[in-house]
Each structure stands twice: as structure tokens, then as C-alpha cells.
């Protein structure tokens, strides 16, 4: 299995459990690993045969703009469900970081894996 990567994608969204957080947008930083076989795309030099990271990045930005959640956990879970369904991603690892949420940390967040890796790995 090969991985298509999107690293440190920044999106703005309304997220947080505190009342003041519900009135502002905050930046989330996402890392995404998506399992696929890139050989068909490489053989034909054809983007239609792989996971289009530009289209996926645009979808993530649209998702962030359209949704408001209290928890980073909910954001990650719903985004993973959306991406897997819309882009036929069999396996993904998604890390969502919320910079500045805890004063003593550069960021807090979650990392989730969903789906099955091809080949059982």
C-alpha cells in the first residue's frame, strides 16, 4: 500500500466548548495519510487514477467552513467519514491539531485511523 499525504493543511472553522469560542473562527492544522495504490496513476500519469490531494484539500476547507463543532474529536470523526465516503478512501489516518488551545502547548488535538489497510497491514 502506498500513502497519499497532506501535511499541515490549515483551515478556519468555528470550534470549541466555551461560549466565546462559538463567536469566532479558529485555525485547525490537519495531517492526512490516505492508503491507496499509486501504480495505476503512475503508469498512465493520470490523476484520475489516484487520490487527488488538491480536490481533497478543497473538500476539507469546505467542510470546515460549513460545520461547527464543540469538540476536535467530533470534527475529526465527521471529516473522516465524509472523506472516506466521497473519495472512496479505504484507510486513512487523520490528525487534527488546535494551536493555542492550551497556553503551555503549541497545539492539542487527536489522531484517528479509520478503515482497513489493504493487505491487512
Q: Transcribe 21-88 into DSSP letters.
A: GGGS-EEEEEEEEEEE--HHHHHHT-GGGS--HHHHHHHHHHHHHH-EES-HHHHHHHHHHHHHHHHT
**Size of the chain, expressed as the number of residues it contains:** 121
Name the active-site residue from 35, 89, 93, 98: 98
Mind listing the pLDDT tens digit of every residue in the chain (121 residues)? Answer: 899 999 999 999 999 999 999 999 999 999 999 999 999 999 999 999 999 999 999 999 999 999 999 999 999 999 999 999 999 999 999 999 999 999 999 999 999 999 987 665 5
- Give the pLDDT of residue 1: 86
- Give the pLDDT of residue 105: 94
**Rounded to a whole number, what is the largest CA-CA distance in the chain?**
52
Closest CA relative to residue 94, chosen from 71, 120, 75, 121: 75
Please confirm, yes or no, whether 105 is among the known catalytic residues. no
pTM value is 0.93
Cα dihedral 110, 95, 12, 68 sign: negative
Amino acid at each position: 500500500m502506498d500513502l497519499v499525504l497532506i501535511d499541515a493543511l490549515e483551515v478556519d472553522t468555528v470550534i470549541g466548548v466555551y461560549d466565546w469560542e462559538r463567536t469566532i473562527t479558529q485555525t485547525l492544522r490537519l495531517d492526512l495519510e490516505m492508503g491507496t495504490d499509486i501504480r495505476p496513476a503512475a503508469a498512465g500519469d493520470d490523476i484520475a487514477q489516484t487520490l487527488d490531494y488538491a480536490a481533497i484539500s478543497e473538500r476539507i476547507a469546505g467542510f470546515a467552513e460549513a460545520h461547527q463543532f464543540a469538540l476536535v474529536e467530533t470534527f475529526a470523526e465527521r471529516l473522516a467519514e465524509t472523506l472516506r465516503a466521497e473519495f472512496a478512501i479505504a484507510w486513512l489516518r487523520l490528525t487534527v491539531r488546535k494551536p493555542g488551545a492550551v497556553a503551555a502547548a503549541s497545539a492539542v488535538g487527536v489522531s484517528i485511523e479509520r478503515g482497513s489497510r489493504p493487505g491487512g497491514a
